[in-house]
Amino acid sequence: MTKLIAGNWKMNGSLAANQALVQAMLEGLQGIEPKAEMALCAPSLYLAQMQSLLTGSAIAWGAQDVSAQEQGAFTGEISAAMLKDFACRYAIVGHSERRQYHAESDAAVASKAQRALAAGVTPIVCVGETLAERDANQTEAVVKRQLAAVIHAVAHCTSEIVVAYEPVWAIGTGKTATPEMAQAVHAVLRKQISAATQHPERVKILYGGSMNAANAASLLAQPDIDGGLIGGASLKAADFLQIVAAAQL
Ligand code: PEP
């Protein structure tokens, strides 16, 4: 399946910095027929800018979160329909930073995924264990529980989600899961997805957690790793494009 390399800019950027970064990426892609799909998930305030910079290019754009509610009195929230208004293809849901700092439950993440799908936005559903959970041999149980909540909510639309396995201890820490460690969890997730949909081949399972230009090729070579969710390295055009190039191998 075509790999997907998605950048998560987190709370970084500015109008000027975004323009320079996107321009450098688009210049770097000139004359290249990228075999991987690409996306950049920007802070929501900049989605209009992303739309104007990226329309007609090979790079899709997305949000880093979406409301679990449809519309109405939810101050500060951004609905899936609003994301669709700005032609977002993706919305990250359940990133560990949202689960950790905003106490997002499995049920809330599942509702967000459901809202995104209902509006025609593909949710990138993040799952992953903390270091304490890995040390307690709970990795499999944790990621299965997190994914099960989403599968239960989206039911027959399971084949339309993207899953990202992001071990919490590997995010922004420089510690990457070895390709074998990541593959083992991806295989578990693949099996769970296969049991839940008649079209498991449509579901990409990305790896995220300190993926960079140096380690991308070995991670992306694993049979069940269908791409990457890239934090820090998506803020540097050259690094992001090297990861995209590694996804074409
Ligand atoms: C992320 O935030 O999804 C992520 C994987 O971050 P980093 O690549 O910086 O570890």
Q: What would the pLDDT profile of 221-249 be if each residue is shown by its tens digit?
A: 999 999 999 999 999 999 999 999 999 75
**In DSSP terms, which residues pair with 163 in a beta bridge?**
125, 205
Of 13-27, 35-49, 168-182, the one with minimum mean pLDDT is: 168-182
Q: How far apart are the first and last CA of the chain?
A: 12
pLDDT value of residue 175? 85
Q: Which atom of ligand 1 is nearest to the CA of 230?
A: 8
Q: Which atom of ligand 1 is nearest to the CA of 10?
A: 2
Task: Say if residues 127 and 143 touch (Cβ distance below 8 Å).
Answer: yes
Q: Where are the domains of the chain?
A: 4-246
Cα 136 to Cα 52, 92, 130, 176, distances in angstroms = 47, 27, 10, 19
Q: Whose CA is nearest to atom 6 of ligand 1?
A: 231
Mean pLDDT of 135-152: 98
CA–centroid distance, 208 to ligand 1, in Å, is 6
Q: Is the pTM of this model over 0.85?
A: yes
Task: Say if residues 11 and 97 touch (Cβ distance below 8 Å).
Answer: no
User: Catalytic residues, which ones?
Assistant: 95, 166
- Of 129, 145, 124, which is closest to residue 205 (Cα–Cα)? 124
CA–centroid distance, 12 to ligand 1, in Å, is 13
CATH superfamily to which 4-246 belongs? Aldolase class I (3.20.20.70)
Q: How many other C-beta atoms lie within 10 A of the C-beta of residue 218?
A: 15
CB-defined site of ligand 1, < 6 Å:
8, 166, 171-172, 208-211, 229-233
What is the tens place of the pLDDT at every residue in 29-82? 999 988 899 999 999 999 999 999 999 999 999 999 999 999 999 999 999 999
